[in-house]
Amino acid sequence: MDATILNLLRDPAGVPFYPVVFQGLYVLTWALHIAFVLLALGSMGLSIYGSTQQKSDSNWKLLTPHLIQTGKLSISILIVLGVAPLLFTQVIYDPNWYTTNALSGIWIFIFIYALIVGYLMYYWYYYANKAGRASNTLIGTISFAILVFCGVLMHNFAVESIQPDKWLAWYAPNGVVDTSGLNFHYDLIRLAFMVSLVIPVLGIFLQNYSDFLSTRKDFTSKYIEFTKKLGTKTAVGGLLVSAVLFILWMLQENMLLSVISLATIAGVVVLLLMAKMNKNSYITTVVLVVVALLISGVREIIRYNLMADHGYNIYTYTMNIDWPSTIMFLLTFLFLGVTGVAFILRMAWKVGKNEGTVFDGQNDKLTRVLGTATLWILVAWMGIYFAWGMFTLFKNTLV
Amino acid sequence: MDMLGLFPVFYFPEFGTAWLMGITGTIHVLFSHTSVGAAILFAFLAHKAYKEDRADLYVYMKKYGMFLLIFSYVLGSITGPGIWYTATAASPRGISALIHNFVWVWATEWVFFVYEVIGVFALVYFIGKIDRKTHLKLTYTFALASVGTLALIIGIISFMMWPGADAYFTTGSASDAFFGVNTFPHMFLRIGFMIMMSAVIGIFIASAMKKENPPLAQELTKKMGVVAIFGGFMTLFFFMWYINTLPESSHVLLSRLLPGIIMSRLILTGVFTAYFALAIFKPTWIHKSLAASMIVVILVAGLWPGEKLRESLRKPFVAGQYIYSNQIIGRDVPGKGIKSEVEVVAKNGLLKVSPFVPESLRVITPENKLQAGELLAKMACSNCHSLDKNGKYRPLSKLFPMNDKGALVSYMKDVIGTGSVPYMPKIVLPDDEYDAIATWLVEKNK
Task: Enter the DSSP assignment of A359.
Answer: B
Q: How far apart are CA B131 and CA B122, in angstroms?
A: 13
The answer on B147 and B65 residing in a single domain is yes
pLDDT of residue B264: 87
In a domain, B5, yes or no: no
**What's the gap between Cα B116 and its chain centre?**
21
Q: With a cut of 90, say whether residue B75 has pLDDT above it.
A: no
Of A14, A81, A362, the CB nearest to B336: A14
Omega of the bond leading into B316 within 30 degrees of 0 (cis): yes
Dihedral of alpha carbons B287, B288, B290, B291, sign: positive
Residue numbers in A near B356 (CB within 8 A): 167-168, 171-172
B184 touches chain A (CB under 8 A): yes
Among the three residues B296, B324, B352, which one is the final residue of a domain in this structure?
A: B324
Mutate to test the interface with B, among A320, A359, A363, A364 (most CBs of B within 10 A): A320
User: Any residues with CB less than 8 A from the CB of A6 and at least 6 apart, and which?
Assistant: A95, A164, A307, A310, A311, A312
Q: Which amino acid is at A355?
A: E
Is B105 close to A325, i.e. CB distance below 8 A? Answer: yes
H helices present in A323-364, as ranges: 323-332, 338-353
Task: Enter the DSSP assignment of A15.
Answer: B
In this structure, what are the phi and psi dihedrals at residue A283, rounded to the nearest 5 degrees?
A: -70, -35
Mutate to test the interface with B, among A392, A394, A397, A398 (most CBs of B within 10 A): A392
Residue numbers in B near A73 (CB within 8 A): 121
pLDDT band, very low/low/confident/very high, at B1 (cuts 50, 70, 90): low
Mutate to test the interface with A, among B78, B152, B368 (most CBs of A within 10 A): B78
The answer on B357 and B254 residing in a single domain is no
Of B410, B401, B393, B349, residue with least CA distance to B375: B349
Q: Which domain holds residue B46?
A: 17-324
Exposure pattern of B60-79 as b/e (b: 16+ CB <10 Å)?
bbebbbebbbbbbbbbbbbb
**Which residues on neighbouring strands pair with residue A15, listed in sequence order?**
A319
In chain A, the N- to C-terminal Cα span, in Å, equals 48
Is B130 close to A358, i.e. CB distance below 8 A? Answer: yes
- With residue B69 as reference, give the H or E element that holds it: none
Q: What share of chain A is helix, strand, coil (3-state, %, to 5)?
A: 80, 0, 20
H helices present in A254-358, as ranges: 259-277, 281-309, 323-332, 338-353
In this structure, what are the phi and psi dihedrals at residue B319, rounded to the nearest 5 degrees?
A: -155, 130
Of B171, B77, B58, residue with least CA distance to B123: B58
User: Any residues with CB less than 8 A from the CB of A114 and at least 6 apart, and which?
Assistant: A146, A149, A150, A153
Beta carbons of A88 and A303 less than 8 angstroms apart: no
Q: Which amino acid is at A28?
A: L
B50 touches chain A (CB under 8 A): no
The alpha carbons of chain B give a radius of gyration, in whole angstroms, of 25
H helices present in A93-187, as ranges: 94-103, 105-130, 136-161, 164-171
In the Cβ-directed half-sphere of B108, how many Cα atoms lie within 13 Å? Answer: 27
In a domain, B33, yes or no: yes
Q: How far apart are CA B152 and CA B168, in angstroms?
A: 18
pLDDT of residue B265: 85
pLDDT of residue B279: 96
Total residue count of chain A as it appears in this document:
399
Count CB-CB contacts under 10 A for residue A238. Answer: 23
The answer on B200 and B256 residing in a single domain is yes
Count CB-CB contacts under 10 A for residue A152. Answer: 15
Q: How far apart are CA A398 and CA B175, in angstroms?
A: 16
B248 touches chain A (CB under 8 A): no
- With residue A371 as reference, give the H or E element that holds it: helix A365-397
Q: Which amino acid is at A200?
A: P
- With residue A395 as reference, give the H or E element that holds it: helix A365-397
In a domain, B1, yes or no: no
How many folded domains does chain B comprise? 2
**CATH number of the domain encompassing residue B383:** 1.10.760
In a domain, B137, yes or no: yes
pLDDT of residue A169: 96
- Give this complex's ipTM: 0.95
DSSP B242-290: HHTTS-HHHHHHHHHHHHHHHHHHHHHHHHHHHHHHHHHH-GGG--HHH
Q: How far apart are CA B49 and CA B374, in angstroms?
A: 63
Q: How far apart are CA B3 and CA B351, in angstroms?
A: 10
Beta carbons of A351 and B130 less than 8 angstroms apart: yes
**CATH number of the domain encompassing residue B186:** 1.20.1630
C-alpha distance from residue A134 to each of A129, A144, A147, A308 (Å): 8, 17, 22, 55
Exposure pattern of B37-53 as b/e (b: 16+ CB <10 Å)?
bbbbbbbebbeebbeee
Mutate to test the interface with A, among B69, B71, B139, B179 (most CBs of A within 10 A): B179
The answer on B357 and B226 residing in a single domain is no
The answer on B296 and B216 residing in a single domain is yes
Nearest residue of chain A to residue B356 (CA atoms): A168
In a domain, B32, yes or no: yes
Of A341, A367, A397, the CB nearest to B165: A397
In a domain, B334, yes or no: no
B131 touches chain A (CB under 8 A): yes
Is A5 close to B100, i.e. CB distance below 8 A? Answer: no
Of B121, B72, B69, residue with least CA distance to A341: B121
Q: In angstroms, how far apart are the furthest CA atoms of chain A?
A: 77
The answer on B297 and B395 residing in a single domain is no
The answer on B396 and B251 residing in a single domain is no
Average pLDDT, integer, range B323-338: 96
Q: What is the mean pLDDT of chain B?
A: 92
Is B73 close to A76, i.e. CB distance below 8 A? Answer: yes
Q: How far apart are CA A143 and CA A156, in angstroms?
A: 20
Of B308, B318, B307, B299, residue with least CA distance to B394: B308
pLDDT of residue B160: 94
pLDDT band, very low/low/confident/very high, at B256 (cuts 50, 70, 90): confident
Average pLDDT, integer, range B224-235: 95
The answer on B366 and B262 residing in a single domain is no
C-alpha distance from residue A252 to each of A151, A257, B27, B156 (Å): 22, 12, 43, 43
Among the three residues B280, B298, B324, which one is the final residue of a domain in this structure?
A: B324
Of A212, A261, A266, A279, residue with least CA distance to A239: A266
Average pLDDT, integer, range B116-138: 95
The answer on B351 and B300 residing in a single domain is no
pLDDT (tens, 9 = 90+) of chain A, 399 residues, equals: 789 999 999 999 999 999 999 999 999 999 999 999 999 999 999 999 999 999 999 999 999 999 999 999 999 999 999 999 999 999 999 999 999 999 999 999 999 999 999 999 999 999 999 999 989 999 999 999 999 999 999 999 999 999 999 999 999 999 999 999 999 999 999 999 999 999 999 999 999 999 999 999 889 999 999 999 999 999 999 999 999 999 999 999 999 999 999 999 999 999 999 999 999 999 999 999 999 999 999 999 999 999 999 999 999 999 999 999 999 999 999 999 999 999 999 999 999 988 778 999 999 999 999 999 999 999 999 999 999 999 999 999 986
Q: How far apart are CA A287 and CA A237, in angstroms?
A: 17
In the Cβ-directed half-sphere of A49, how many Cα atoms lie within 13 Å? Answer: 6
User: Any residues with CB less than 8 A from the CB of B143 and at least 6 apart, and which?
Assistant: B39, B40, B42, B43
Q: Is residue B109 helix, strand or coil?
A: helix
The answer on B51 and B24 residing in a single domain is yes
Among the three residues B283, B298, B324, which one is the final residue of a domain in this structure?
A: B324
The alpha carbons of chain A give a radius of gyration, in whole angstroms, of 24
User: Any residues with CB less than 8 A from the CB of B13 and at least 6 apart, and which?
Assistant: B388
pLDDT, tens only, B147-183: 999 999 999 999 999 998 899 999 999 999 999 999 9
pLDDT of residue A25: 98
Q: Is residue B446 helix, strand or coil?
A: coil
The answer on B406 and B315 residing in a single domain is no
The answer on B242 and B105 residing in a single domain is yes
User: Any residues with CB less than 8 A from the CB of B23 and at least 6 apart, and which?
Assistant: none
